[in-house]
Amino acid sequence: MTRAIKTREIITVAADGACVRGTYHPPQSTVRAPESDEKSRIGIVFPNSGVLPRAATGDSAVYWADSFAKAGYPTFRLDLEGLGDSAGDIPEKLLDFVSSVNAGRYVSQMCSAMNALVSRFNLSGIVIVAHCAGTVSGLYAAAASNQVKGVVLLDPYFHLQEVNPNSQCRADLNSELPGNANLRLINSWHQVASAGIPILVLTAMSFRVNTRDFDYLNYLQAPLHQPQAITIEPVEDTPHSFAEGPGKESVRRHIEAWLGTHCAGWQMSGNAGVSGR
């Protein structure tokens, strides 16, 4: 069932046994690329940012989705099970919810939803744009699905929330990683990056590493054979939400430039996916 609202449509997607509700932002005809152009078949998907509904803080996800639709990309904002308008149960405590996300709560659902969107809207692939806790589900899904052609991560984190945040233990005796590192997530990053799938990371000033923190992004870039697939950019004068000051506009500019740079490669790949994923 769909319901049109000017340049948006309310949609439902059957995903891994759940009824996922969302908003579809069709490419606008005044600027949309011709039907023969592969750009018009690259879909952009926004999962929830943590427990927030699909509009995100200050309607930031709405602004970005409208902008990318105007630029010619079919764009989707989804409420995963138990969030926003989608029915389902989630843990009452935020820490328990985050722990369930870290454990891969939404991976199968995201993969199923992306498969459905690709089929239903005749897409050549998906770009995931995710923020904060959404980046965990986004990276897991990108590593598990052959529909993903690119990943945008806004302030990603790679640690597990622990009872004792001052713990100095290590992930294992042969690792330089902190003891609370999310090893599954780090492995997913390596899978995506080593497959040559472009990753854009945008960081807000308030969320950047300080000298007392472990610099995961520096660590994750070091061993890559294809570092050109990784782009890390700061977004100045914006908090973690990216919704205040010049944050929303800066994020839009960064992502649109990145999409333009990598779109030719996605045209070549079509629906073939990445071998071995």
Q: What is the CATH number of domain 3-161+178-269?
A: 3.40.50.1820
What are the structural domain ranges in the chain? 3-161+178-269
187 contacts 195 by C-beta, under 8 angstroms: no
Q: Of 66, 59, 77, whose CA–CA distance to 23 is shortest?
A: 77
86 contacts 18 by C-beta, under 8 angstroms: yes
pLDDT in tens, 75-92: 999 999 999 999 999 999
Distance CA 56, CA 12 (A): 19
pTM of the model: 0.87
Token digits for 162? Answer: 């622990």
Of the listed ranges 37-46, 119-128, 216-225, the least confidently predicted one is: 37-46
153 contacts 138 by C-beta, under 8 angstroms: yes
Whether the pLDDT of residue 113 is over 70: the answer is: yes
Neighbours of 133 (CB within 10 A): 23
pLDDT in tens, 162-221: 644 444 444 554 468 998 999 999 999 999 999 999 999 999 976 666 667 889 998 998
pLDDT in tens, 19-39: 999 999 999 854 444 444 544
What percentage of the chain reaches a pLDDT higher than 70?
79
Whether the pLDDT of residue 116 is over 50: the answer is: yes
269 contacts 39 by C-beta, under 8 angstroms: no
Token digits for 133? Answer: 């806790």
